[in-house]
Structure 1
Amino acid sequence: MNAETVAYAVAAVGAIAMLIAVIVGISTLLWLLVRLVTIPGVVIHEFAHKQACELVGVPVLEVVYFQFGDPAGYVRHGQPRRYREAFVVSVAPFLVNTVVAFAAFLGLAALVSTTGNLRAASIETIAATAVLGWLGLSIGMHAFPSTGDADTLWRRSRLEWRQSPMVLLGIPVVVVIYVANLLSWLWADVLYALGLGILAFSIVGAGPVPV
């Protein structure tokens, strides 16, 4: 192998290494950007868990509303005594995040419907539009309970269905949670949030804003 061949090989390896570094760097930046943009959704999700625990009398041991690690946030709590308590704690984020996101989108739709030409809108109106859209999307994206929530309900279902057959009614919810988390790889969480926005706009009857 002559020196020229070696030089080409080294250059090729260097180029590949540089390309990999660029791809990894871009992926990391995108991951950080998504985490930052969706902070409100994570906070509301964990807040819903915490409030549900307090509502049904389950002791809260630790709350992390947001972090850059995995998971982005969590609530450590005691063992619920009844299945219905575990159910409420697990599905609370879906209800709370959905309601809050939908309210943000309703506000956005109402604002858009009363806005004339976008070029003539005030800076405050444009800022409010951007913030409401951001909150609706971010909070709606984090409406789905996690697979950890589904695991908890599944374990309780297997242990308690003989004593209380009504527990079986929660199994479809467990399946939906698993499927929703699986489809999140296909942006199902984003599509859900956008669906809430479309529903809000259809209710308010807001059309596109002229520019």
Structure 2
Amino acid sequence: MMIIPGFIISILTFPGVIVHELAHQICCYICGIKVYEVKYFQFKNPNGYVIHEGSNHPGKVFITSMGPFIFNTILGSLIILPASIQFFAFKVNSDILNLILVWAGFSILMHAFCSTGDAKVMVQQILKNKKVGIIPKILTAPFVGLVYIGAVGSVVWLDAVYAAVVAMLLPNLLV
């Protein structure tokens, strides 16, 4: 297995980083959470971030933390879909537009996973918050676990596997 440093992957897949951070920001605005600072992409760790106020409302915390998973999955799927449908219909067309769509869609899908920072926010503001009831905690806990599994799995390319599976599964369901 080839080891490629994460910052190189992030540079090659920068559209995914940008969409991920934009999704956090959009979710903050949807939930009425004040955003203090946004960095959509930078050439250092972290590659992007959104600094925003906290919330005691578990739904808002969950949406702002998990939003990029939904946004990146939907947008990446829609972008890669035309090229994937052609590929799976055996009408392989390697023109530049299809290559750009595959690269952009795959990049966005690769950055769908939430970060451990997002999981920590859910732990602090939902799971450890005494003002939050047991039902939101029970509903949130599995997602926190999945975020950590995704973060650990990214070391062995789980994020790329996810992107490939989504890119292949969706057109197969539609074609």
Structure 2 length normalisation: TM-score?
Answer: 0.88
Identity of aligned residues (%): 31
Matched, 1:200 2:175: no
CA distance in 2, matches of 1:32, 1:51: 25
Distance 1:150 1:103 in 2: 26
1:76 matched to which residue of 2?
51
What secondary structure is seen at the aligned counterpart in 2 of 1:160?
coil
Offset, 1:107: 1.7
Residue in 2 aligned with 1:185? 155
Within 2, Cα distance between the matches of 1:163 and 1:53? Answer: 19
Task: Using the TM superposition, give the Cα deviation of residue 158 of structure 1 relative to its aligned residue in structure 2, in angstroms.
Answer: 3.5
2:126 to 127, 132, 157: 157
**Are 1:105 and 1:196, in contact at CA under 8 Å, matched by a contact in 2?**
no
Which of 14, 28, 36 is 1:53 aligned to?
28
In structure 2, list runs of 5 or more residues that go unmatched.
Answer: none
1:164-193 superposed Cα distances (whole Å, 9 cap, x missing partner): 112221011001101110111110000000
Q: Which has the larger radius of gyration?
A: 1
What code does the residue aligned with 1:183 have? G
**Equivalent-residue separation in structure 1 for 2:64 and 2:148 (angstroms):** 16
Q: Kindly state the Cα deviation for residue 36 of structure 1 after the two structures are TM-superposed.
A: 2.4
Question: For the aligned residues, what is the CA RMSD?
Answer: 2.2
Unmatched 5+ residue regions in structure 1? 1-26, 206-211
Structure 1 segments, 4+ long, off by >6 Å, are none
Cross-structure match for 1:9? none
- The alpha-carbon distance between structure 1 residues 77 and 163, as it changes in their structure 2 partners (threshold 3 A), is closer
Tell me the residue number matched to 1:40: 15
Relative to its length, the structure with more helix (as a share) is 1
Residue pair 2:72, 2:108 contacting (<8 A) in 1 also: yes
In 1, distance between residues paired with 2:154 and 2:90?
34
Q: 2:115 aligns with which of 130, 135, 146?
A: 146
CA shift at 1:204, angstroms?
3.7
Equivalent pair of 1:111/1:129 in contact (CA under 8 Å): no
Determine the C-alpha separation between the residues in 1 that align with 2:70 and 2:32.
19
